Amino acid sequence: MTVTELPTREGETYAEGLARAEQAQAEAEAARIRNEAERRRQQLAADKAEAKAQKEIQRELEAAEDERREREGKRRAEAAAKAKAQKSAEAWRKSALGIAVVCVVVSLPLQVMAFWDPSAWFLVAAPFVLEGVAWALLKGAEAAIDDDRPSWHYRLGALIQALIAAGINFAHGSETYGIATGIGGALCSVIGPAIWDLHEHGRITKKAGRKALAQRRAEKRAAKDEKARIAKVNKAREASDPEVWERALFLAAALGELVPSEKTYRRAWDELHGAEVGSTASIISAKRLARRAVRLAQNGPLDGSQTDTNGQVGSQMNEDGDKPSKGPSKPGEDGRKNNGGTPPVRRPGTTKYAPIARRQMSVEKLRSNSN
């Protein structure tokens, strides 16, 4: 900007106009620099905000990806476990069925020979009836399980029928072929239906959602330990604060609890002590005193020389360490001041007392009063 570009002022010389033009140009340049700096600052702030947002988005994406991977891994593990369980169940079913067939191959011929009589050839159907009834009852149990009906009577009937067949095989086999054959035939008559019944029992347990015996025992043992722990805690609470325990028992009875719950005990404590469990008025007071002593120990007390030479404090404290009384102590003294009429030393703008100085004055006053 030049002098000719500025509006002329009356009585202004060329040098004054030139100076004013330079000043206006300097101000314009300063304004431009300020605007540019502000623009850069805003741009930098925007860039930082965008970078922060990008990082936050990246973290969220990574967290979502980790969660997805975790879910996928869990799903695969569950699928693998389910496939393995199905494979094991199928193998167990085939094994049980194979053992049952082998047992029938051994036990059925022994029964046929036991009932064989040329003069009463029709009795040869009796073994098929005995063995067939047992397996028919087991199939009835299977159907009952699938239909969610009771199956115990089917299984019991199959076991009784198998024991009858086992008795016949044992008697005939022992008499004809020896004791070993009798025992083997009897076992085959029982083992086949028993193995298959175990398979069906597993299906019943799985369908009913029953837990394994070891798991039920572990849960029972854990519940027993937890009950014992609660009993010990309640006994200790009763011994430590009988009043609170009596109040807790009263509240438990009113709320329908056999034993005061944790929530009920906390309520009883709050009603009697007005604080969280484990805290009382005396404990809170002692804690505050201890914290105050720690603060004084950490800050360190001011010695006597520092207190005596401090004109700011000494001019406003009497010999006993107290602030002078309000109003004149002698006739004619100025009672409008807070120093007993003595002109104040402090001046406007004087630095206020530091927190440690105020605490030290309070301590000195307490010491003087105690003495």
* Per-residue model confidence (pLDDT) at position 239: 92
Q: pLDDT digits over 134-158, tens only?
A: 878 888 887 887 787 887 888 888 8
* Per-residue model confidence (pLDDT) at position 251: 93
Rounded Cα distance, 233 and 16, in Å = 94
* Per-residue model confidence (pLDDT) at position 250: 93
Q: pLDDT digits over 45-64, tens only?
A: 888 888 888 888 888 888 88
Q: What is the DSSP letter of 323?
A: P
* Per-residue model confidence (pLDDT) at position 93: 81
Per the rule left: phi > 0, alpha: psi between -120 and 50, beta: everything else, 148 is left
* Per-residue model confidence (pLDDT) at position 298: 85
Which of 162, 185, 163 is CA-nearest to residue 175?
185
Residue ranges in the chain modelled with pLDDT below 70: 1-12, 14, 207-212, 300-360, 363, 366-371
* Per-residue model confidence (pLDDT) at position 11: 64
Name residues whose C-beta falls within 8 Å of residue 281's C-beta, 6 or more positions apart in sequence. Answer: 273, 274, 275
Name residues whose C-beta falls within 8 Å of residue 363's C-beta, 6 or more positions apart in sequence. Answer: 296, 301
Using CB atoms within 10 A of its CB, is residue 149 exposed (0-12), middle (13-18) or buried (19+)? exposed
